[in-house]
């Protein structure tokens, strides 16, 4: 029997635990309804934790039941290990769902010519799950398309990890055609080692500003030594960090209006749904600094739950400061030279910041956490 290729959808790290995770899984299921992959690969951290409410589990099962003809293969991760008390063990799953557990094992999907491999965390940490129970040779030459799903850290990107550290050799030498990986939330391109294609699909929606840009899943055809996958976006909103540099400060309202103009210009069709973190920078005369709370309030009228960080620097008035006491004057002279001889923007910023704190120290104003000017709420 020879089947040329099989259509798959590879997703990972949904961390289902709230509405946003469920909503994203709905999007993935509706993609499956349109695209009709033979296998839906879920490469771990499907749930955010092992305790899943009956309500969430019921919703997940009713979504999966929309795909009776799709094999749903789950490789539990470090957030949702297949432990005795996990949702994988204590609940009833539909027949088309395969849940891998412990070391690498395989099932043959005769109809579609696939030997499906997978392993699964059984506790929060795992070692060498990629090893097979038996020392069977994976590439047995019988013509099946060898697809593997697993959760873990990939060497040599990391050199040690308590999360199923996967050596490069298993990608190169095990004879898989495609390895669907989960755990790393940042998507990688589809890469190749030896004759094996592999990728991290990344998390399919953002949960914070450390997960910027468009996020989604991989869909396409995998065959013997062939792999045609494309990225499909599934997130409804992006997390975007923007910097704005100001050189004068009139009022909180005017700064806010400048920010809103910038955002509307740059993201005309999505600014109302995307989430923004705005970093306000620039050199301003002493005593002139936007108030992050006030700016946030203004922005909230247009943006959804914006965050504002004010990182402006005091522009020193050397002339005004020149007549100060001797020690302070000495400090001022030295720091002025530092600022003026700075070789880069970063160095200049650092010198100005040091000058600002130094002058405050003379006034007895420096407190612990002085640089914590971020408004994070």
Q: Which secondary-structure segment (H or E) carries 54?
A: helix 54-64
| Interface region with Mn ion, contact rule CB under 5 A, candidates 42-50, 223-231, 241-249, 361-369 | 42-50
Considering only residues 339 through 368, tell me which ones interact with Mn ion, judged by CB under 5 A.
none
Q: Which residues of 291-304 are buried (b: 16+ CB within 10 A; e: fewer)?
A: ebeebbebbeebbe
- Residue of 79, 126, 136, 74 whose CA lies nearest to 103: 126
CB 281 within 8 A of CB 244: yes
The CB-nearest residue to Mn ion is 183
Interface with Mn ion (CB under 5 A), residue total 4
Q: In this structure, what are the phi and psi dihedrals at residue 73, rounded to the nearest 5 degrees?
A: -110, 120
Minimum separation from the CB atom of position 174 to Mn ion (A): 22
Q: Check binding of 201 to Mn ion (CB under 5 A).
A: no
Between 76 and 95, how does the x/- string for binding to Mn ion read (CB under 5 A)? -xx-----------------
Minimum separation from the CB atom of position 44 to Mn ion (A): 6
Minimum separation from the CB atom of position 282 to Mn ion (A): 39
CA–CA distances in Å: residue 268 to residues 212, 232, 273, 313: 18, 22, 11, 30
Q: Which of 10, 101, 115, 183 binds Mn ion (CB under 5 A)?
A: 183
Minimum separation from the CB atom of position 14 to Mn ion (A): 11
Q: Which is nearer to Mn ion, 203 or 229 (CB)?
A: 203
Lateral strand order in the sheet of 71-74: 97-99, 71-74, 39-42, 5-11, 216-223, 226-233
DSSP label of 369: T
Q: Which is nearer to Mn ion, 77 or 202 (CB)?
A: 77
Q: Which is nearer to Mn ion, 165 or 310 (CB)?
A: 165
CB 283 within 8 A of CB 246: no
SS3 content of the chain, % helix, strand, coil (to 5): 25, 25, 45
Q: Which of 45, 48, 146, 221 binds Mn ion (CB under 5 A)?
A: 45
Minimum separation from the CB atom of position 45 to Mn ion (A): 4
- Through-space distance between the first and last CA atoms of the chain, rounded to whole angstroms: 59
Minimum separation from the CB atom of position 208 to Mn ion (A): 15
Q: Check binding of 15 to Mn ion (CB under 5 A).
A: no
The site for Mn ion (CB under 5 A) is made up of: 45, 77-78, 183
């Amino acid at each position: 029997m020879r089947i040329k290729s099989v259509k798959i959808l590879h997703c990972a790290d949904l961390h289902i635990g709230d509405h946003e995770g469920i909503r994203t899984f709905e999007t993935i299921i509706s993609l499956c309804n349109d695209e009709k992959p033979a296998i839906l690969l879920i490469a771990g951290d499907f749930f955010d934790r092992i305790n899943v409410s009956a309500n969430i589990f019921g919703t997940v099962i009713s979504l999966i039941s929309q795909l009776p003809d799709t094999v749903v293969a789950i490789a539990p991760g470090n957030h949702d290990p297949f432990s005795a008390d996990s949702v994988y063990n204590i609940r009833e799953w539909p027949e088309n769902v395969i849940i891998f557990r412990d070391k690498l094992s395989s099932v043959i999907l005769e109809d579609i010519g696939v030997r499906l491999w997978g392993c699964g965390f059984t506790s929060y940490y795992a070692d060498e799950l990629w090893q097979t129970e038996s020392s069977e040779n994976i590439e047995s030459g019988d013509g099946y398309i060898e697809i593997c799903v697993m959760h873990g850290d990939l060497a040599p990107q990391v050199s040690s990890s308590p999360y199923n550290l996967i050596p490069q050799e298993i990608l190169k030498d095990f004879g898989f055609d495609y390895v669907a990986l989960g755990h790393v939330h940042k998507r990688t391109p589809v890469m190749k080692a030896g004759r094996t294609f592999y990728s991290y699909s990344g998390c399919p929606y953002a949960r914070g500003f450390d997960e910027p840009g468009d996020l989604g899943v991989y869909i396409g055809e995998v065959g013997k030594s062939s792999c045609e996958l494309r990225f499909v976006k599934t997130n409804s909103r992006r997390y975007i960090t923007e910097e704005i540099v100001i050189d004068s400060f009139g009022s909180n309202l005017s700064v806010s209006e400048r920010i809103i103009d910038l955002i509307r210009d740059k993201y005309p069709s999505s600014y109302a749904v995307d989430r923004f973190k705005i970093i306000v920078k620039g050199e301003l005369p002493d005593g002139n600094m936007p108030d992050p709370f006030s700016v946030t309030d203004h922005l909230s009228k247009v943006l959804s739950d914006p965050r504002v960080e004010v990182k402006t620097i005091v522009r020193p008035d050397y002339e005004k400061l020149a007549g100060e006491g001797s020690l302070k004057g000495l400090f001022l002279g030295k720091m002025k030279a530092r600022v003026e001889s700075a070789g880069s923007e970063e160095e200049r910023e650092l010198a100005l910041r040091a000058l600002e704190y130094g002058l405050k120290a003379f006034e007895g104003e420096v407190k612990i956490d002085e640089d914590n000017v971020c408004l994070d709420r």
